[in-house]
Structure 1
Amino acid sequence: MTGTATLDRGTTTGGPAPERGVTRGAMLLTASAALVGVGNYGLSVFLVHALSASDYTVYSALSSVLLSVGTLAGATVPWVLAREVALDVAGSPRRRTSVRFCLRLSLGLALMCAVVACGAVVPYAGPGPLAGMAASCVAIWVNSVGAGYLQGCRRFAALGFLRLGEVAVRIAVTAAAVLAGWGAAGAISAFSVGAAVASALGLLALRPDLVGGPHVPSGGPCGSGLWRRALSVGGIQLLCCVLFTLDVVVAAAVRSGSGELAPYQALLVLARIPLFLSTALATVVFSQLVGISARDGAGQLRPVLRLHWIGSITVTVLVASCPDAVLALVLPPQYGTSAALLPPLALAGAASATTVLVSVVFQVWGPARRAVAPLAVACLLGGGLYAVAAVSPLRLAWCSAAVTGAVAAALLVRARRRVPGLGPLAGALGPLAAGALAAAALFALRPHPLPWAGAAVLVLCLGAIAARPVRRGPGPYRVLHLGFEDPRRPGAGGGSVRTHEVNRRLVSRGVEVTVVCAPWPGATATVLDGVHYVPLPAHPGPLARSRFASQLAYFAAIVVGLGRLVRRHAPDVIVEDFAAPFSSVCIPHLTRRPVVGLVQWLAAADKGREYHLPFHRVERLGLASHTTLVAVSADLGAELARRNPAARVEVVPNGVDPAAFTHRTTPRGDHLLYLGRLETSSKGLDLLLRAYARAAPRITADLHIAGDGPHADAARVLAEELGITARVHWLGRVTGPARFDLLATARLVCVPSRYETFGMVAAEALATGTPVLAFDIPCLRSLVTDHVGIRVPPEDIDAYAAALTALVTDPARCAALGVAGPGHVRHLDWDRVAEAQLAVYQRASGRGFEGAPAVVGHS
């Protein structure tokens, strides 16, 4: 087998998840955010009419502060928890630790926010509103933990329902309190009731990872990481919240709660609808981006930014151009002069929405300082500018638009540098051009309410059409192959050959295949014949030098990082190669994606005896977890069916490269050949050396040994002890056409395996016309039959030595057995194997595939 390994450091680790998955989750939360925004605005309109101007000013100031608390709570603790929940399996100690950590953190922050919030509004709020505000702060923060858990589990429908339920309860309680005459105090207390109901529902959702399980101290490495992430995410979100509420808080303090700010505050909810929408988008895209690189994340950011631009620009244009007559339908007469505030407030709302969404880039990939610096400067300068501009609501609105617009532009520039591939202005050029045309038409129609309303409906419809996910043809069929062994690794066996031969043929048909393998010294993410190979863990350090340690590190990395791999590669099916020493690590229990178990090896019991560890118990659990299994031989398939009767077992044998059947004119020698991994526990190289030592005095044929592996040095030592060093020739690893030339020139190929899953070397030897001498073990009985080779009792060294002597001294018999070999294995075709295996994948995933015609792969 030959091929050129092409190193592709930036792209070999996978592609983005499907766009429709991101957009569907975003649309769910966007719809709930829209309903929440409508509900909030409806409540504001009701309170405008039901409260006096001074009471409404107090309520609006306090509700703005609570909105800031809610925004901070919803963007810090939930996002820290969502990351951990998304990366860890249910019930794991790390996930339980994260849940408990975030619950304690939320309670601490709730008390801090309650003190700060009450202190900020104490100059113009009485004891009743202050008590309601303190209770609301606690309930809001506790609710944020449940929201983060649902976000990490990607239960966006449940998360949307939780938010809608909170708003519905708050609206009902607020209306009842105001109608009962409780004024601003009753309206503010309603926040705590709604948040308390949502908190109870959220705690019920996370109960499985909150109650029971081992306690892991939060001060360890896990806790330190959580604190760092909490500080990073919380710092950015805190500055965002301060920036978005600074205008109202500063103006209310400067004007001592003057009723002149009521129109400004009443329109602020309407102007900030884009902020609610972008918060929903950010919630979804954050959980999608966690665990993937910034380069790969561009593919997931683009559709979300596109949806943001279309939604924000559409709402901004409609709000900014709203006629006075339309505003008069929902606002009392004393707010009739507020229409002039709409353009700057709408621009400020769009800029705030952009800031929220773009800041996700730095919360996921960092460094946080790139977002913290412009946000901090904007807060410092904005505080002073707002204090000066507070004398006029219109001046305050334009000042807010300038400050938030500047920080949004700065973050966009930095985000484009951090995430390559976002395009000019991060994809905003098209929506901005369309928005400018729509704004020109709507502003021209502003003096005419009815035509404006018709044009507004048209703009909304066009925006909805443009915001729909782009419909594409069927995407590529993706396979995530947990292949364990890299074929380039020294000592790699026939299992990795099968993996590569099948996968490169699938790639030729248009399938995207990523193979995750154990690390080894010098291993890098590589593309080989179109197949992406990714070592995991990527940076194992000294573990890579030990084969056994790297194997254990591989399994640990798979168990911990499978969720991240699935999000990065978005596979239609996951293939788990059963591999030493565990066989399987229960992959079907770790993901909801379809999983196919590819069994080339089933001897965990042997490895357990070798290392004195209960590997067979892990194998038993792993085998039971699978519902679809592929065996490489009929004997192995029968064993799998016996051990797991509930699974669908399909036998797909290995193939033989067409190059092996090519007629060769090189004369056949009289030497014996061993080709394969230099290993004793399964390959039986020690048995061959001992048998050859007993036969050597009676034959003239030397023994050639080709390959590499973990027991090469031990085999050389054994050959020296047996006194056959001069008769044994070590050829090293042989690949490509030279492999088949080597097989074709031998008198006899020795396969002394104690255990085999298929017998790749035996099949290739028969294809070249060379007979095989093997032990009579399962998986070789149907391959090495009496008319193409000889089998002797398992591990019987004397019988092996006698058969070896008989064949070497009878060239005519060797030739007769060799002639029958090619016809015996002619049916073992890699193209047919690849087609059969792809059919298994299709049945398991429930997705058909129509790609290019199969391409015969020649080495």
Structure 2
Amino acid sequence: MTTRRPGSRPAPPSAAADAPRRTPRPAVLLTGSALLTGAVNYGGSVLAMRLLTPPEYARYAAVAAVLLVVGALAGATMPPLVARVTARQATAGQVSSVTGPCLRIAVAAALVCAVAAGAVTLPYATPGLLTVIAVAVAALWVNATGLGLTQSRQAFRSLAVLWTAEAVLRAAVTAVAAATGGGDTGAIAGFAAAAGSTALAALAVRPRRTSGPDTAAVPKHRTDDRARGPEGAGATAASTTGPMWRQALAIGLLQALVYLLPALDVVVAAAVQEGDAALAPYQALLLPARVPVFVATALAAVLLPRLTRCPAWGPTHGALGQALRQHAATVSVLVAATATCPPEILALAVPPAYAASADLLVPLGIAAGGHATLVLLVTVFLAWGPLLPVAVTLALVCPFAALGYGVAASGTRALAWTSAAVAVATAGAVAVLAWRRAGRVRPGRGAGCSLLAVPVPALVLGALRPHPLPWCLAAVALAGAATGWVTRRQRRAGPLRVLHLAFEDPRAPGAGGGSVRTHQVNRRLAASGVRVTAVCAPWPGCTPTTRDGVRYVPVLRRLAPVLRHRFPCQLAYFAAVTVGLPLLVRRTDPDLVVEDFAAPFSSVCVPWWTRRPVVGVVQWLAAREKARDYRLPFGAVERLGLRSHTTLVTVSEGLAEEVRRRRPQAHVVALPNGLDAGAVAARPPRDGNHLLYLGRLEHTSKGLDVLLRAYARVAGEVDTDLWIAGDGPHARALRELADRLGTGRRVRWLGRVDGDARFALLASARLVCVPSRYETFGLVAAEALACGTPVLCFDIPCLRDLVTRETGVRVPPGDTTAYGDALAALARDPERCRRLGAAGPASVRHLDWRETAHRQLALYRTVARHTRTV
């Protein structure tokens, strides 16, 4: 297997991080389908060109141009609208409830477009042809709705098949109709037949089934940010339908203008000449000349997801410059090949009568290059906005372009050069808009060389034009070199792939705050376009699943029913990671490996097992204590693990200082945990009649045995009961301890509490007890303070940063007597508890999951930068 260092690249993975390995990536799959569709459309047009008479072909080409505009408008409007609405639906019944309204919208739009298409083609269309046009327009809009449903159901294979099937069926019906005497009317019927058939097939595609529980199965407090911003899961489809539909309408109108402009010359000229056969050579040569537009559309489909994940018009990233370089590499070769095509080669593609007009290829190639550049630039605005300046620019260009085409329609040469001038001028105007919006965007490395290389294909192929065979060899070589270069750039600049050795699944019994942090950060990275695969320890009932965009993969899951105890599961996880890391790396092909330090070893020296860049996340650093408990050399393994890492993330500044002391050579960054929006919003009325412990039922680190003994000392002095919420490995032993201490009736065991109930419980308590012997952050303490409840804890480093004299009480570490005295004093003084709790929310307001995820992603990109093209 090819390794990353120093700077080499492995073969591209054949699977996304969240799909089986044999499934191709959706972007690659759909791009290949788009290219194949373009090739089939070109072949169908060539067949129509050869089978129809020149007058019939002139009418067919004019109507086909109109229908292509209608199809582009439908394809740009309905799939985004349908996909964004149905993406929020969870069941097939809810999705089907959206289908009816969307179909009604499609039919209404089809009626408007059918009237417009009939008005445009009325000067030369027969009544039969007008009827077929209306049916084809309706079928195109319904087909776009079906494709939108297929996309929203994540059936990408079906979507690619439908794209290709529509083109194949259209070409077949057109060829059969033309060969059997159906004329232009029968050929246009291919549009209606193909779109109608694929529409029915698309509407019949079943929703995709996921391989595991969905987001609803995850505890809400661990997956949702509620009540604020678009990032929160509390937003519903009903609350966002209006803005989403308006945005889809804006995108559809802009795309309609983009696709109308390249077809406007044929539409206007055909209307002016009333379907005169003299326009047929011009229309025939448009087919090979428009290949750059098809390629630019495919490139834009690949670039759009990546551009949307980049900072909009940021000052430093090179996404825009990189896109332009890739575009220049491919389009310059295609335009040069079109403009310099030898007559002998052209005669193989078009009939001899049309090949006599080969001099039109130069302006038509220039026009195609301008239109292709326009497609790419508009894609940038679709990703980053705003849409209004571009829409206004195109809306102003179209009437002037139509006027120019009408004046130049008398001669094909004048029409071709007018088309070239309009395309170049429009692309230049939109490029100026992009340049003004980009501001200080750096062009990126190699931009100068890329721009200087643009005229090279034209010079080489122009010199070889008198020699057809060398010209063909040079054209193939240049096209192959450009395609290979773009493919490598796309692969290197694709989404960041992270293999996270996360130790715990947040759904696993006894999972602690570390798994909460891992999921909260990773789900925000996934929302930013990062492909995250989280490997975790097995637990009974575990399955591979994708939640909030994060792929969870439990190792040795078939052994989970046997490994019912926590410690064997932990050992199985570390053994599987140590032995199977090369296989995990080969399957996921990550740009970065992240190792969460976890009990009992902390780290298993992951950087020594892989050559990929590694970042260690230190949420736990207490192997010495575990070594005393189990009498095993866990501390020595921890020291080796720290020595193996060069980049480390800690969850508190105190832990960062400890790591720096032990590993001075490492780059250590402290990124604190954040808080769920539900904690901040929790403000129910307090009864103040109970003390609360919430967390893992474990006494080694959480010190729950200390709390039970301290409470037993003062239980007779206070009238407040102790509530204990959570699960964990020592639950039975702790219940037995409470019974032995004589407080069994005063201790209420609540079990695991999640979601909003968790924050309501924290907010309703008089005091939250955190008796931990050691902590790496203290998430429960931070959540309690956010809920306005004071905290009683030991004076240990991490909790010292959270619990101050204004928000709680700290006592000497391990002093059970002092803990019990403080507990009794606070339990008897509800006014003091209210005063301390009132200062809590302001003290933790700076803890924000989004900020933590943003800074952690920046660190990931910095570490992985030497293996990627940014």
The TM tier, using the shorter chain, reads 0.5 to 0.7
Q: How far apart are 1:116 and its partner, in Å? A: 1.1
**CA 1:472/1:453 → structure 2, altered by over 3 Å: closer, same or farther?**
closer
**Contact 2:78/2:106, CA 8 A, preserved across alignment:** yes
**CA 1:437/1:445 → structure 2, altered by over 3 Å: closer, same or farther?**
same
In the TM superposition, 1:262-273 aligns within 5 A as 262-273=280-291
**Contact 1:107/1:142, CA 8 A, preserved across alignment:** yes
Question: Which residue in the other structure is 1:294 paired with?
Answer: 312
Question: Which residue in the other structure is 1:340 paired with?
Answer: 359
Q: How far apart are 1:36 and its partner, in Å? A: 2.5
Question: Which residue in the other structure is 1:440 paired with?
Answer: 459
Q: How far apart are 1:411 and its partner, in Å? A: 2.5
**Contact 2:526/2:548, CA 8 A, preserved across alignment:** no
For structure 2, which runs of at least 5 residues remain unmatched after alignment? 1-11, 18-23, 210-235, 572-596, 601-619, 623-654, 661-678, 680-687, 695-703, 719-760, 769-789, 829-862, 865-870
1:652 matches 2:653? no
**CA 1:33/1:315 → structure 2, altered by over 3 Å: closer, same or farther?**
farther
For structure 1, which runs of at least 5 residues remain unmatched after alignment? 1-16, 210-217, 486-493, 504-513, 517-532, 535-561, 579-583, 599-623, 639-649, 663-676, 697-708, 717-728, 751-760, 776-790, 802-849, 852-859
**SS class of match (2:386):** coil
Distance in 2, Cα, partners of 1:415 & 1:631? 59
Q: How far apart are 1:35 and its partner, in Å? A: 2.6
Question: Which residue in the other structure is 1:246 paired with?
Answer: 264
Opposite residue 187 of structure 2, the aligned amino acid is A
Q: How far apart are 1:170 and its partner, in Å? A: 1.6
- Cα-to-partner distance string for 1:107-157 (whole Å, 9 max, x where unaligned): 221222112111210110112221221111111111112322344455544
**Contact 2:282/2:412, CA 8 A, preserved across alignment:** yes
- Cα-to-partner distance string for 1:480-513 (whole Å, 9 max, x where unaligned): 989999xxxxxxxx965x579xx8xxxxxxxxxx
**CA 1:384/1:565 → structure 2, altered by over 3 Å: closer, same or farther?**
same
In the TM superposition, 1:6-85 aligns within 5 A as 25-84=26-85
Q: Which of 241, 249, 261 is the aligned partner of 1:223?
A: 241
**Contact 2:44/2:172, CA 8 A, preserved across alignment:** no
Q: Which of 259, 271, 274 is the aligned partner of 2:292?
A: 274
Distance in 1, Cα, partners of 2:127 & 2:486? 47
**CA 1:659/1:571 → structure 2, altered by over 3 Å: closer, same or farther?**
closer
Q: Which of 346, 352, 355 is the aligned partner of 2:371?
A: 352
1:236 matches 2:254? yes
**Contact 2:336/2:457, CA 8 A, preserved across alignment:** yes
- Cα-to-partner distance string for 1:370-418 (whole Å, 9 max, x where unaligned): 2212111211221111112222212211221222222223333434555
**CA 1:347/1:475 → structure 2, altered by over 3 Å: closer, same or farther?**
same
**CA 1:332/1:586 → structure 2, altered by over 3 Å: closer, same or farther?**
closer
**CA 1:141/1:483 → structure 2, altered by over 3 Å: closer, same or farther?**
farther
Question: Which residue in the other structure is 1:255 paired with?
Answer: 273
**SS class of match (1:424):** coil
**Contact 2:272/2:409, CA 8 A, preserved across alignment:** yes
**SS class of match (2:275):** coil
**CA 1:179/1:317 → structure 2, altered by over 3 Å: closer, same or farther?**
same
Opposite residue 70 of structure 1, the aligned amino acid is G
- Cα-to-partner distance string for 1:45-85 (whole Å, 9 max, x where unaligned): 32223222111111110111111111112222113334445
- Cα-to-partner distance string for 1:597-651 (whole Å, 9 max, x where unaligned): 99xxxxxxxxxxxxxxxxxxxxxxxxx999899999659999xxxxxxxxxxx99
Q: How far apart are 1:730 and its partner, in Å? A: 9.7
Distance in 1, Cα, partners of 2:197 & 2:546? 33
In the TM superposition, 1:372-383 aligns within 5 A as 372-383=391-402
**CA 1:410/1:169 → structure 2, altered by over 3 Å: closer, same or farther?**
same
| Greater alpha carbon shift after TM alignment, 136-145 vs 306-315 | 306-315
**Contact 1:298/1:420, CA 8 A, preserved across alignment:** no
**SS class of match (1:175):** helix
**SS class of match (2:356):** helix
Opposite residue 313 of structure 1, the aligned amino acid is S
Q: How far apart are 1:174 and its partner, in Å? A: 1.5
**Contact 2:57/2:184, CA 8 A, preserved across alignment:** yes
Distance in 1, Cα, partners of 2:73 & 2:54? 28
Identity of aligned residues (%): 33
**Contact 2:560/2:569, CA 8 A, preserved across alignment:** no
**CA 1:208/1:51 → structure 2, altered by over 3 Å: closer, same or farther?**
same
**Contact 2:50/2:351, CA 8 A, preserved across alignment:** yes
**Contact 1:298/1:421, CA 8 A, preserved across alignment:** no
Distance in 1, Cα, partners of 2:764 & 2:549? 42
**CA 1:341/1:586 → structure 2, altered by over 3 Å: closer, same or farther?**
same
**SS class of match (2:357):** helix
Question: Which residue in the other structure is 2:747 paired with?
Answer: none
**Contact 1:170/1:191, CA 8 A, preserved across alignment:** yes
Q: Which of 524, 533, 542 is the aligned partner of 1:572?
A: 533
In the TM superposition, 1:546-625 aligns within 5 A as 565-573=526-534, 588=545, 590=547, 593-595=550-552
Question: Which residue in the other structure is 1:363 paired with?
Answer: 382
Whose Rg is larger?
1
**CA 1:738/1:28 → structure 2, altered by over 3 Å: closer, same or farther?**
closer
Distance in 2, Cα, partners of 1:420 & 1:632? 59
Query: Structure 1 length as normaliser, TM-score?
Result: 0.58
Distance in 2, Cα, partners of 1:658 & 1:377? 59
**CA 1:96/1:410 → structure 2, altered by over 3 Å: closer, same or farther?**
farther
**CA 1:88/1:731 → structure 2, altered by over 3 Å: closer, same or farther?**
closer
**CA 1:107/1:291 → structure 2, altered by over 3 Å: closer, same or farther?**
farther
Q: How far apart are 1:266 and its partner, in Å? A: 0.8
1:385 matches 2:404? yes
**Contact 2:58/2:279, CA 8 A, preserved across alignment:** yes
Query: Structure 2 length as normaliser, TM-score?
Result: 0.57
**CA 1:627/1:268 → structure 2, altered by over 3 Å: closer, same or farther?**
farther
Distance in 1, Cα, partners of 2:155 & 2:184? 35
Distance in 1, Cα, partners of 2:126 & 2:715? 100
**CA 1:32/1:565 → structure 2, altered by over 3 Å: closer, same or farther?**
closer
- Cα-to-partner distance string for 1:411-452 (whole Å, 9 max, x where unaligned): 334345556886439987554433311101111222222222
Distance in 2, Cα, partners of 1:197 & 1:661? 64
Opposite residue 272 of structure 2, the aligned amino acid is V
**Contact 1:147/1:202, CA 8 A, preserved across alignment:** yes
Question: Which residue in the other structure is 1:669 paired with?
Answer: none
**Contact 1:480/1:571, CA 8 A, preserved across alignment:** no
Question: Which residue in the other structure is 1:808 paired with?
Answer: none
Question: Which residue in the other structure is 2:91 paired with?
Answer: 91
**CA 1:299/1:43 → structure 2, altered by over 3 Å: closer, same or farther?**
same
Question: Which residue in the other structure is 1:682 paired with?
Answer: 693
Question: Which residue in the other structure is 1:8 paired with?
Answer: none
**CA 1:773/1:397 → structure 2, altered by over 3 Å: closer, same or farther?**
farther
Q: CA RMSD in A?
A: 5.5
**CA 1:305/1:149 → structure 2, altered by over 3 Å: closer, same or farther?**
farther
Distance in 2, Cα, partners of 1:143 & 1:342? 34
- Cα-to-partner distance string for 1:797-817 (whole Å, 9 max, x where unaligned): 9xx99xxxxxxxxxxxxxxxx
The count of corresponding residues between Structure 1 and Structure 2 is 595
